[in-house]
Structure 1
Amino acid sequence: MAKILDRLLLFIYSLSIGALSVIAILLLTEAIPLKLDGSVERPVWIAGIVIAAVLFLLSLRFFYISIRRDRSSLSSIDQRTEYGDIQISTETIENLAYKAASRVRGIREVKTRIRITESGLDIVVRAMVDGDTPIPTLTEEVQKQVHDHVEEITGIPVSYVSVYIANLVQSPVIKSRVE
């Protein structure tokens, strides 16, 4: 809701500043005659036109920003079948990769990121491990699970799965009491 309000305010602001700067340019270039008691000095007149022109250009930019669609939230992969079009959001694919990586025993605190390339999907998995399983075996299993699960569910080829092990999860130390 806040984004919509911000865009609306930006839209109104850009229109008002644009209109005021156009009026200022027209007045300063005497396209609209205005009777003033004193004459305006040439440097002030030129500065006024330059400032009005800059404000007009800024208002055009703000106007464009206020009406354009946010493409980052619309990121998806589009496929065409004989029955119609299919769109799968990158967020859906990230969640599938997260689900597959989380199933691997020994993996904790998973984060995934997707990048769409010509050859398919590049998936980056960032995880923490428990420290009980050998890391090479663990990462290979994560790569296989993520690759197979995402390809099977989406039908989109996965070209690359990168696994980054950030750290070990520290398990709480339990001290036994000896009496």
Structure 2
Amino acid sequence: MIKVVDKLLLFLYSLIVGVISIFFMSLGFGWLTSRMLSDLLTEFYRSNGIQIGTGIAGIVILLLSFRFFILSLHRGSMSAQSIDQRTEFGDIRISIETIENLALKTASKQRGVKELRSRVRASDSGLEIVLRAVIDGESSIPALTEDIQRAVKEHVEDITGIPVSNVAVFIANVVQANTFKSRVE
């Protein structure tokens, strides 16, 4: 949700900066004459509503600038999510993406699995792996999902040394077999 709000704010900020840059280009290239600018400023100081609106717009732009400044510092210091382990020889960092790919590789070896997506979350009890699969529908779904769960759990634990607390498999769909009708002439 925050990413969507930040994208919306960035879009608004870009529009504001674009309008301001067009204004300065107009001044620089002489598209706004001194007479036009004088009339604009005279009208500006006559209306309290315009002054208040401009002041509020200035505050909003300042707050947006501050928000993006903080985000630029915060995002730069973040690294990819990883699981950190300490051994007698030093530290080991395994990215969540690596674990997702290990789970995908293992699950894709199961007969009947056609498409896969994975998501991994680290919790205090171990890794929680969620797999979304599309299958061919030729074998028993309970048996297939149990095989996937067992294989993924064992393989990820063997390769990474990190305990897997849960492997959830969601069967999203069954692929239709390609049927070819013979043509008789």
TM-score (norm 2): 0.67
In structure 1, the residue matched to 2:108 is 102
Q: Distance in 2 between matches of 1:138 and 1:71?
A: 42
Change (3 A) 1:120 1:170: same
SS of corresponding position for 1:69: helix
Greater RCO, 1 or 2 (C-alpha within 8 Å, sep 6+): 1
Change (3 A) 1:157 1:71: farther
In structure 2, the residue matched to 1:18 is none
Amino acid at match of 2:132: R
1:71 CA drift (Å): 7.3
Amino acid at match of 2:109: R
2:74 corresponds to 1:87 = no
Q: Distance in 1 between matches of 2:174 and 2:154?
A: 26
Please, which of 170, 174, 183 is the counterpart of residue 168 of structure 1?
174
TM-score (norm 1): 0.69
SS of corresponding position for 1:171: coil
Q: Distance in 1 between matches of 2:138 and 2:55?
A: 72
Q: Distance in 1 between matches of 2:134 and 2:67?
A: 44
The number of equivalent residue pairs is: 149
SS of corresponding position for 2:92: strand
In structure 1, the residue matched to 2:67 is 61
Identity of aligned residues (%): 53
Q: Distance in 2 between matches of 1:90 and 1:50?
A: 44
Amino acid at match of 1:115: R
In structure 2, the residue matched to 1:119 is 125
- Give the helix-richer structure, 1 or 2: 2
1:96 CA drift (Å): 0.3
Which structure 2 residues correspond to residues 3-152 of structure 1 after superposition, within 5 A? 47=52, 50-69=56-75, 74-152=80-158
Amino acid at match of 2:150: K
5+ unaligned residues in a row in structure 2: which ranges? 1-9, 18-44
SS of corresponding position for 1:146: helix
User: How big is each residue's C-alpha offset from its partner over 1:100-156, in whole Å with a ceiling of 9 and x where there is no partner?
Assistant: 101111111111111111111110111111111111110100000000000000000
TM-align CA RMSD? 3.4
1:58 CA drift (Å): 2.4
Amino acid at match of 1:56: L
User: How big is each residue's C-alpha offset from its partner over 1:33-86, in whole Å with a ceiling of 9 and x where there is no partner?
Assistant: xxxxxxx68x57983655544432322112112332267761111111111111
Q: Distance in 1 between matches of 2:135 and 2:183?
A: 29
